[in-house]
Amino acid sequence: MANLGSNDQRVLTTLKKSNKPLSAYDILDRTRSAALKAPVQVYRALQKLEKRGLVHRVEALNAFVACCDDHHGLHRPGFVVCRDCGVAREFEDKRVARVAEDAAGPDFLIETISLEIYGRCAPCRAAA
Ligand SMILES: [Zn+2]
Ligand SMILES: [Zn+2]
């Protein structure tokens, strides 16, 4: 990936290896190295990766996931998150934006739309 520093790469690789959202501190725990040792460095890398659509924030968890696709650029997906195992699945549906625009009304300038669906996945329900 062009123009990504080594810290950005490390953070992205760590997120790609995890199928669960990770907080900045989780990422730091897994990447700790001579070059990457302060939370602020992780946040800086996350900000850069988020701007490029390579990483998304799961708002309610205050955690981050790697995008499921390297190539679709900046976008704002929703997530289906299992409360038991923590796995987060990214999805995108243009209808969400339409519902949000209808709800907000024409005078409201929408900055962020976040749709996060919490529950239990099939394997976790089967194990219960
Ligand atoms: Zn994505
Ligand atoms: Zn689960």
SS3 per residue for 96-116: HHHHHHHHHCCCCCCCCCCCE
The domain that contains 87 carries what CATH number?
3.30.1490
What are 96's two structure tokens? 């969400």
List, for residues 75-119, the tens digit of each pLDDT value.
Answer: 878 999 999 999 999 998 889 889 999 999 999 999 888 899 999
27, part of any domain: yes
- Domain co-membership, 55 together with 90: no
Dihedral through CA 38, CA 26, CA 47, CA 51, nearest 10? 150
- Between the CA of 76 and the centroid of ligand 1 the distance, in Å, is 7
- Provide the pLDDT for residue 32: 78
Which range marks the domain in which residue 61 is found?
6-66
- Between the CA of 66 and the centroid of ligand 2 the distance, in Å, is 18
- Between the CA of 14 and the centroid of ligand 2 the distance, in Å, is 21
- Provide the pLDDT for residue 1: 52
What's the domain count of the chain? 2
Give the list of residues 6+ apart from residue 20 with CB closer than 8 angstroms, or none: 65, 85, 86, 87, 88
In this structure, which ligand is nearest to the CA of 121?
2
- Between the CA of 92 and the centroid of ligand 1 the distance, in Å, is 8
- Domain co-membership, 20 together with 58: yes
- Domain co-membership, 11 together with 51: yes
The mean of the pLDDT values for the chain is 91
Amino acid identity of residue 121, one-letter, is C
48, part of any domain: yes
- Domain co-membership, 34 together with 82: no
- Domain co-membership, 10 together with 59: yes
**For tokens 């749709």, what's the residue?**
115
- Provide the pLDDT for residue 117: 96
CB–CB of 63/57 below 8 Å? yes
Could you tell me the pLDDT band of residue 72, with boundaries at 50, 70 and 90? low
